[in-house]
């Protein structure tokens, strides 16, 4: 029976049987399944991993993109290791460069119930893909494109519907672009070998394993649960791309989160605003797209509604958003590339563009490098609406300040230029994006994105000019950018950051059709050292899906396994005086083959995040010095969510990272202390469930 079904139906069957077993823990229990690998197992194509060092067994069908020179034993590129299996693999750029086109075909083999392979290279489902073709009628049964990264990712196909039939693989490159115009392939496997290595099971990845969001019986939590690298309690688009959070506000009692969004593909493109709302700041439900780009039917026109902010109109109560209207000047040469526009909604769902847009038609003087991301705030120094906008000249980033003239219109559509609120010295970038400016704990905080990083400055403000007293990084980890602040009804200063940035991020989840995650809701505060601190909002406790496991006071000497989970909160307190080890390590997403390490060194109080052994994502190390707590109790509060990791230290330091494990079993949480004991006041592990309601 299973053989008659599409892979997606197999997933549904697996889900149904698991749901019966675990009716209350669907989100935690479900993993994508594939057909029984034992039922049909035949040999795959000749030279399946290119270990001959050439194209033996493969046929160049057309073009010059592929040839013997495509096969290489090169192990790394500018972004890290290729992670091929064995020595050789097919690197689609080598034979004739990026723009070359061509098609390569494997020998014919009989389809097993499952198969897998490694893919890398450009993202272009139409022009760059590895495909499986049925020999007797030429039907393309499956295809998979790359991720705009060279590194190789394991794709699994449930081929049980075609088991026993003659098939062959094609490697297709009809892309002539000069960047990411090639595709890479390695290690084709069939049968049970396709599903794992040495007793470990590969995460089941690939666009063919993703059921459509509509026209199926699954609830959103179940749908999101099926994807093994999909965050369960962080917002991500089901399909497509997101970047900056936009329009954060508590309006009508509900928290609203909008995001820069390209629904068409998991890559940046014509910007929409996706929209979710929450009654409690941590559970989300999906709303229709809030803003559409001006030319939505032309994917080549990159004009879009860029980042902006929200406010509640004090007269009408309406929800207003003010944002950058960006125009693709290659297609519209007479337009200004970036102006400020407005839209308003009376129901919090349906937004109407202001008829008089743009509300700011041109940048102020001396802003040649950009003019974007308006963030509105209520200025307590003179009780007026003001707005900061990022800009820059060729030498330094700038924050431009505007004031609402608020004459007769009830919408805030009339603004006058005040001047430069603050200008950098160039060391944090020559164009600043996503500025936010607000009073907190007797200070004013400015933060912005520059040089691909999020920076904060804490200081004073006199109504026109900001004076900085302290500068720092908003986040000590690799994957945070475009953080947006807002103040909620209870007066808390809250923020969400995009868990990505342009400089260091990889997007392996593109193989599942999506890219981008927003952080958990964070509360901001001024740290003891005068910097800007982050902590997890209290409401995160509402995400608990089961009882917390508390280890109590624990002396770790050697290795302690705390538990096994990839959707959990780990809270630990460490007695800095009673501990006598030189360092301790928290291993996350761990098992023998891979893990993320978090190392704290007592002597210099450094906390280092190490992802060099952590699956498909960005490999690197990032460090921060954690301020010594007055009571000598270091606290760590860690959120683990399938492909997301957020580490909050008690002093307000945060490290945000994306992590994409290769294996389903990579869920161990261990604490290691060598050369002495580390004394934990407590270690608490709480399973967290789905954010989707
Ligand atoms: C690859 O090299 C082998 C051995 O020299 C040769 O027989 C074969 O024709 C070459 N294949 C292609 C596609 O050039
Ligand atoms: C959204 O608002 C506009 C303008 O008020 C209105 O014309 C339109 O019908 C509304 N759409 C929906 C779906 O409510
Ligand atoms: C900024 O640099 C660009 C390219 O170097 C140059 O064309 C432009 O005139 C410069 N603008 C200013 C304001 O210096
Ligand atoms: C604010 O400070 C700036 C810089 O010191 C100064 O030029 C400006 O006049 C001050 N504005 C007010 C309203 O005091
Ligand atoms: C802290 O000490 C450890 C162990 O000696 C060292 O590896 C690390 O680089 C140091 N970190 C900083 C920030 O000095």
Q: How far apart are CA 217 and CA 582, in angstroms?
A: 53
Looking at residue 540, the DSSP 8-state letter turns out to be G
324 and 366 in a common domain: yes
Both 81 and 156 in one domain: the answer is yes
DSSP code string of 330-370: TT-TTS-SEEEEEEEESSSS--EE-TT--SB-SPPTT-TT-
Q: What angle do CA 125, 659, 23 make, to 5 degrees?
A: 90
The domain boundary residue, chosen from 192, 209, 226: 209
Q: What is the model's pLDDT at position 635? A: 98
Span 303-323, average pLDDT: 94
The CATH number of whichever domain residue 426 belongs to comes to 2.115.10.20
pLDDT of res. 418: 97
If one residue of 369, 370, 394, 397 were mutated to test the ligand 3 pocket, choosing by the most ligand atoms within 8 A of its CB, it would be 394
Taking the C-alpha atoms of residue 14 and residue 226, their distance in angstroms, rounded to an integer, is 10
Establish whether residue 60 lines the binding site of ligand 1, counting it when its CB lies within 6 angstroms of any ligand atom: yes
60 Cα–ligand 1 center, Å = 10
| Ligand 3 atom with the shortest distance to the CA of 395 | 14
Judged by its nearest atom, the ligand closest to the C-alpha of residue 419 is 4
225: part of which helix (H) or strand (E)? Answer: helix 220-225
Helix (H, G, I), strand (E, B) or coil at 48: coil
Minimum-distance ligand 5 atom for the alpha carbon of 623: 13
The residue written with tokens 């000749």 in the block is 46
What separation in Å is there between the alpha carbon of 168 and the centre of ligand 5?
A: 53
Atom of ligand 4 nearest to the CA of 463: 13
Q: CA 364, CA 356: separation in Å to the nearest integer?
A: 19
632-645, pLDDT tens digit by residue?
999 999 999 999 99
Whether 623 lines ligand 5, by a CB cut-off of 6 Å, is yes
Q: What is the pLDDT of residues 520-559, one digit of tens each?
A: 999 999 999 999 999 999 999 999 999 999 999 999 999 9
Range with the poorest average pLDDT among 44-48, 83-87, 100-104, 311-315? 311-315
Cα–ligand 4 centroid distance for 458 (angstroms):
17
Q: Mean of the per-residue pLDDT values for the chain? A: 93
Taking the CA atoms of the chain, what radius of gyration do you get in angstroms?
A: 26
Which of 345, 350, 352, 411 to mutate to test ligand 2, by most ligand atoms within 8 A of the CB atom?
350
* 178, 257: one domain: no
Question: Are 148 and 185 in the same domain?
Answer: yes
Tell me what the mean pLDDT of segment 260-279 comes to.
97
Q: How confident is the model at residue 216 (pLDDT cuts 50, 70, 90)?
A: confident
Ligand 1 midpoint to CA 90 (Å):
14
Is the pLDDT at 9 greater than 50? The verdict is: no
Q: Based on the domain organization, do 470 and 584 belong to the same domain? A: no
Residue found by looking up tokens 């994502």 in the block: 617
Compute the distance from residue 375 Cα to the ligand 2 centre, in Å. Answer: 26
Q: Taking a C-beta distance cutoff of 8 angstroms, is the pair 382, 357 a contact?
A: no
**Residue 271 DSSP code:** -
Q: Which residue has the tokens 């957020």?
A: 646
Q: Say what the pLDDT of residue 32 is.
A: 53
CA 204 to chain centre: 19
Lowest pLDDT segment from 155-159, 499-503, 510-514, 637-641: 499-503
Tokens 């912005």, located at residue: 448
Q: Is 220 in the pocket of ligand 4 (CB under 6 A)?
A: no
Both 448 and 398 in one domain: the answer is yes
Please tell me the predicted confidence (pLDDT) of residue 17. 39
Instruction: Indicate if 502 and 648 belong to the same structural domain.
Output: no
Distance 603 CA to ligand 5 centre (A): 8
Virtual torsion, Cα 364, 368, 374, 375, nearest 10 deg: -90
CATH number of the domain at 597, please.
Answer: 2.60.120.560
Number of residues assigned to the chain? 693
**pLDDT of residue 8 exceeding 60:** no
Residues in contact with ligand 2 (CB, 6 Å cut-off):
350, 352
Q: Ligand 4 pocket test: which of 419, 464, 466 has the largest number of ligand atoms within 8 Å of its C-beta?
A: 464
Q: Is the CB of 464 under 6 A from ligand 4?
A: yes
Shared domain for 496 and 571, answered yes or no, is no
Q: Is the pLDDT of residue 332 over 80?
A: yes
Is residue 230 in some structural domain?
no
Q: How far apart are CA 423 and CA 373, in angstroms?
A: 16
**Which ligand is nearest to the Cα of residue 624, counting in written order?**
5
| Cα 588 to averaged position of ligand 5 atoms, centre (Å) | 21
Please indicate whether residue 463, judged by its CB atom, sits closer than 6 Å to ligand 4.
Answer: yes
Pair (268, 200) in one structural domain: no
pLDDT value at 370 more than 60: yes
Of 110, 112, 107, 123, the C-alpha closest to 184 is 123
Ligand 5 atom at minimal distance to the Cα of residue 625: 13
Assigned token pair, 658: 């994306």
Q: Are strands 240-251 and 514-515 parallel, antiparallel or unpaired?
A: parallel
Say how many Å lie between the CA of residue 467 and the centre of ligand 4: 10
Strand partners, 129: 172
- CB of 67 shorter than 6 A to ligand 1: yes
How many domains, the chain? 3
* Residue 302 maps to a domain: yes
pLDDT score recorded for residue 408: 52
Give the tens place of pLDDT for each residue, 274-306: 999 999 999 999 999 999 999 988 889 999 999
Instruction: Quote the CA–CA distance of 48 and 41 in Å, as a whole number.
Output: 15
User: Which residues in 238-263 are b (16+ Cβ under 10 Å) and which e?
Assistant: bbbbbbbbbbbbbbeebbbbbbbbbb
Residue 641 inside a domain? The answer is: yes
Choose the final residue of a domain: 209, 229, 255: 209
494/249 Cα distance (integer angstroms): 9
458 part of a folded domain = yes
Of 209, 227, 252, which closes a domain?
A: 209
Write the residue with the smallest CA distance to atom 7 of ligand 5: 601
pLDDT in tens, 106-126: 999 999 999 999 999 999 999
The bound ligand whose nearest atom lies closest to the alpha carbon of 610 is 5
Q: How many whole angstroms from 345 Cα to the centroid of ligand 2?
A: 9
Q: How many CA atoms lie within 13 A of 184 on its CB side?
A: 29
Q: Mark whether 328 and 375 lie in a shared domain.
A: yes
Same domain, 451 and 507: yes
Cα 43 from Cα 166, distance rounded (Å): 11
Q: How many other β-carbons are positioned within 10 Å of the β-carbon of residue 330?
A: 10
In a domain, 232, yes or no: no
Is the domain of 203 the same as that of 260? no
Distance (Å) from CA 182 to ligand 1 centroid: 21
Place of tokens 């823990």: 25
**Closest residue to atom 4 of ligand 4, CA basis:** 465
What pLDDT is recorded for position 378? 93
Ligand 1 centre from 433 Cα, in Å?
52
For the domain that residue 37 is a member of, what is the CATH number?
2.60.120.260
pLDDT digits (tens, 9 = 90+) for 10-67: 444 444 333 333 333 333 334 456 778 999 999 999 999 999 999 999 999 999 999 9
- Judge whether 234 lies within some domain: no
* Ligand 1 proximity of 54 Cβ (cutoff 6 Å): yes
Query: Rounded mean pLDDT of 473-488?
Result: 98
Q: What mean pLDDT comes out for the span 644-653?
A: 98
Domain that holds residue 261: 242-519
Residue 279 CA to ligand 3 center (angstroms) comes to 47
* 636 in any annotated domain: yes
- Out of 384, 419, 465, 468, give the residue to mutate to test ligand 4, the one with the largest number of ligand atoms within 8 Å of its CB: 465
d(CA 603, CA 611): 22
Q: How confident is the model at residue 653 (pLDDT cuts 50, 70, 90)?
A: very high
Share of the chain above pLDDT 70, in %: 94
Measured by CA distance, the residue closest to atom 8 of ligand 5 is 606
Is any atom of ligand 3 closer than 6 Å to the C-beta of 365? no
**What pLDDT score does 23 carry?**
31
- Is position 95 within any domain? yes
pLDDT band, residue 407 (cuts 50/70/90): low
Nearest in space to 585 (alpha carbons), one of 565, 612, 560, 615: 560
DSSP codes of every residue in 503-551:
TT---GGGGGTEE--BPPPEEEEE-TTSSEEEEE-GGGGGGB-S--EE-
**Residue located nearest, by CA, to atom 2 of ligand 4:** 465
């Amino acid at each position: 029976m299973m053989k008659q079904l599409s892979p997606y139906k197999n997933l549904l069957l697996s889900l149904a049987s698991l749901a019966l077993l675990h009716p209350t823990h669907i989100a935690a229990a479900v993993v994508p399944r594939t057909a029984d690998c034992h039922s049909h197992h035949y040999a795959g194509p000749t030279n399946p991993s290119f270990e001959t060092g050439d194209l033996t067994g493969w046929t160049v069908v057309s073009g010059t993109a592929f040839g013997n020179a495509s096969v290489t034993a090169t192990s790394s590129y500018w972004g890290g290791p290729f992670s091929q299996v064995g020595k050789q693999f097919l690197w689609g750029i080598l034979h004739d460069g990026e723009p070359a086109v061509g098609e390569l075909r494997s020998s014919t083999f009989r389809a097993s119930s499952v198969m897998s392979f490694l893919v890398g290279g450009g993202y272009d489902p139409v022009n760059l893909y590895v495909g499986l073709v049925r020999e007797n009628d030429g039907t393309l049964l499956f295809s998979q494109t790359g991720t705009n990264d060279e590194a190789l990712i394991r794709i699994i196909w449930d081929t049980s519907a075609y088991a026993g039939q003659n098939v062959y693989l094609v490697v297709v490159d009809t892309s002539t672009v000069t960047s990411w115009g090639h595709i890479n392939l390695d290690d084709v496997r069939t049968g049970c070998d396709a599903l794992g290595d040495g007793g470990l099971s590969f995460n089941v990845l690939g666009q063919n394993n993703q059921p459509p969001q509509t026209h199926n019986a699954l609830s959103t939590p179940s749908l999101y649960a099926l994807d093994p690298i999909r965050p369960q309690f962080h917002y991500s688009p089901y399909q497509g791309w997101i970047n900056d959070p936009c329009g954060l506000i508590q309006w009508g009692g509900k928290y609203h989160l909008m995001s820069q969004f390209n629904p068409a593909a998991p890559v940046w493109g014509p910007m929409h605003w996706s929209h979710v709302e929450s009654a409690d700041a941590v559970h989300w439900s999906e709303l229709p797209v809030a803003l559409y780009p001006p030319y939505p039917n032309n994917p080549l026109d990159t004009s879009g509604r860029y980042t902006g902010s929200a406010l509640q109109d004090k007269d009408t109560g309406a929800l207003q958003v003010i944002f950058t209207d960006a125009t693709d000047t290659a297609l519209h040469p007479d337009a200004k590339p970036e102006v400020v526009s407005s839209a308003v909604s009376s129901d919090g769902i349906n937004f109407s563009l202001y008829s008089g847009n743009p509300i700011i038609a041109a940048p102020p003087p001396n802003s040649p490098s950009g003019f974007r991301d308006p963030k509105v705030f209520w200025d307590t120094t003179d009780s007026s609406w003001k707005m900061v906008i990022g800009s820059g000249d060729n030498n330094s980033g700038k924050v431009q300040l505007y004031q609402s003239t608020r004459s007769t219109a009830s919408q805030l559509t009339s603004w006058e230029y005040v001047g430069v609120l603050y200008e950098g010295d160039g060391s944090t970038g020559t164009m600043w994006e996503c500025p936010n400016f607000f009073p907190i704990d007797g200070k004013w905080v400015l933060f912005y994105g520059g040089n691909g990083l999020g920076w904060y400055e804490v200081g004073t403000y006199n109504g026109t000019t900001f004076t900085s007293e302290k500068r720092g990084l908003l986040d000590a980890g690799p994957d945070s950018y475009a953080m947006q602040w807002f103040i909620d009804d209870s007066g808390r200063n809250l923020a969400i950051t995009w868990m990505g940035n342009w400089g260091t991020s990889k997007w392996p989840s593109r193989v599942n059709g999506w890219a981008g995650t927003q952080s958990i809701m964070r509360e901001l505060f001024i740290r003891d050292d005068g910097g800007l601190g982050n902590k997890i909002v209290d409401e995160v406790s509402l995400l608990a899906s089961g009882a917390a496991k508390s280890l109590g006071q624990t002396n770790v000497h050697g290795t302690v396994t705390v538990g096994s989970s990839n959707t959990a909160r780990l809270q630990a307190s460490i007695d800095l005086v009673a501990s006598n080890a030189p360092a301790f390590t928290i291993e996350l997403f761990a098992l023998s083959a891979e893990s993320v390490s978090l190392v704290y060194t007592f002597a210099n109080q450094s906390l280092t995040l190490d992802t060099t052994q952590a699956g498909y994502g960005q490999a690197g190390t990032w460090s921060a010095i954690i301020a010594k707590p007055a009571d000598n109790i270091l606290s760590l509060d860690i959120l683990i969510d399938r492909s997301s990791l957020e580490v909050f230290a008690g002093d307000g330091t945060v490290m945000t990272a994306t992590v994409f494990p290769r294996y389903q079993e990579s869920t161990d949480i261990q604490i290691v202390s060598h050369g002495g004991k580390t004394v934990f006041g407590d270690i608490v592990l709480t399973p967290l469930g789905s954010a989707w309601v």
